[in-house]
Amino acid sequence: MACSEADYAYLREVVRLQSANLIDPSRNALFDTRLAPVARLAGVSNLEGLVSLLKEDRPAHLQRAVAEAMTINETSFFRDPKTFAMLSEEILPRLIEERAGAKRLRIWSAASSTGQEAYSVAMTLAEKFPGLAGWDVKVVGTDISRQVVEYAKSARYRRLEVNRGLPARMLVKYFERHEEEWEVCARVRQMCEFHVVNLCAPLPKLPVFDLVLLRNVLLYFPQQDRRTVFGQVHQQVARDGYLMLGNAEQAEDSTNLFEVEFAAQCYYYRPVVKR
C-alpha cells in the first residue's frame, strides 16, 4: 500500500488540517495500515489512488475519514492510577462539598476515545460517593472520531479491555457479562453521554464543566493548536473548576489561562480568572 514521500506528506497535511494531529514521518507505515480500508471504501486500490481522489475536489467526508482513521485511540480503564487517586481523594470531595447547594456536577472527558476514561470517572463517583444519589451528575465524553464515540456509546468491552486497569472487584460490581463481552451497568451508563467534537474547531454548545479531563491528546498537537484548545477549555470550565492533563503533558504554553497546583503526587490546573 506504500506511496511516494510526496503523497505521505500530503496525507500528513490533510490530517494536520482536519484534526491538528501531527504524524511523524517515521510513522509512514501507519498510513499504509490505517488508510487501506478508507481507500477500499472510496473505491481505489492504493494510497496513491486515495491521494488523487483527495486532490481532485478535496471531498470533505474523505478528508475527515483520513483524519479519523489516523487518530491514536490508546486508552484503558483507570489509566494512570495516581490521577484517579487524586480525583477520588482530593478533587471530587472538594467539588462535591462546593456543589452541595446545587447538587449538580458536570465532568468532561475531552478526548474520550472508546469511553474507558468517562466510565472510570462515573464508576469512581458511584463507588466512593454514594451521597451523590439524587444529584444531577453527567460525565460527557467527546472525541473527534465517530467510530470511537459509537464504541463508547455501546458501553461494551472485550476481555482484553476489561483486563487492562479495571480491578476485578469493579468488573464484577459494575459490568454485566454478555458471552465474550462485558457491558457497563445501567447505573453507570446513565451518568455518561458521548458526542463527536473536534477540540480544534469551534466547540458546539456544551455545559460549563466543574472538572475537565484533557488527557493524552495534546501531545499529538502542534503548539499553536494546543493554545487554541486551552483557550476553548478555559471557556468551558467553571471559574472554580479543575483541569487534569495526561502525565506527560503540561499547560506551559497557556500559563496565563491556567495555573498549576500539586497535591497527592499529581499536578492539576485551575483556571486563571480574569478580572
- Interface residues with ligand SAM (CB under 6 A)? 19-21, 71-75, 79, 111, 113, 117, 143-145, 148, 198-200, 215-217, 246
- With beta carbons less than 8 A apart as the criterion, state whether 251 and 257 touch: yes
- Nearer Cβ to ligand SAM (28/145): 145
Rounded least distance, CB 48 to ligand SAM, Å: 26
- Nearer Cβ to ligand SAM (103/146): 146
- Cα atoms in the Cβ-side hemisphere of radius 13 Å centred on 29: 1
* DSSP strands (E only) in 38-121: 104-109
Rounded least distance, CB 200 to ligand SAM, Å: 4
- Three-state SS for 138? strand
Rounded least distance, CB 10 to ligand SAM, Å: 19
Give the whole-angstrom CA distance, residue 207 versus residue 261. Answer: 24
- Nearer Cβ to ligand SAM (99/112): 112
- Nearer Cβ to ligand SAM (46/147): 147
Rounded least distance, CB 39 to ligand SAM, Å: 20
Residue of 36, 103, 86, 91 lying closest to 66 (CA atoms): 36
Residue 231: count of CB within 10 angstroms of its CB:
11
Three cell numbers, residue 73: 485511540
- With beta carbons less than 8 A apart as the criterion, state whether 268 and 261 touch: yes
Give the whole-angstrom CA distance, residue 203 versus residue 218. Answer: 16
Rounded least distance, CB 101 to ligand SAM, Å: 30
Residue of 42, 43, 48 lying closest to 1 (CA atoms): 48
Rounded least distance, CB 52 to ligand SAM, Å: 26
- Nearer Cβ to ligand SAM (39/148): 148
Give the whole-angstrom CA distance, residue 151 versus residue 133. Answer: 27
- Nearer Cβ to ligand SAM (119/175): 119
Rounded least distance, CB 56 to ligand SAM, Å: 25
The set of residues, in sequence order, having a beta carbon less than 8 Å from that of 190 and lying 6+ positions away, is none
- Nearer Cβ to ligand SAM (3/145): 145
Give the whole-angstrom CA distance, residue 150 versus residue 189. Answer: 14
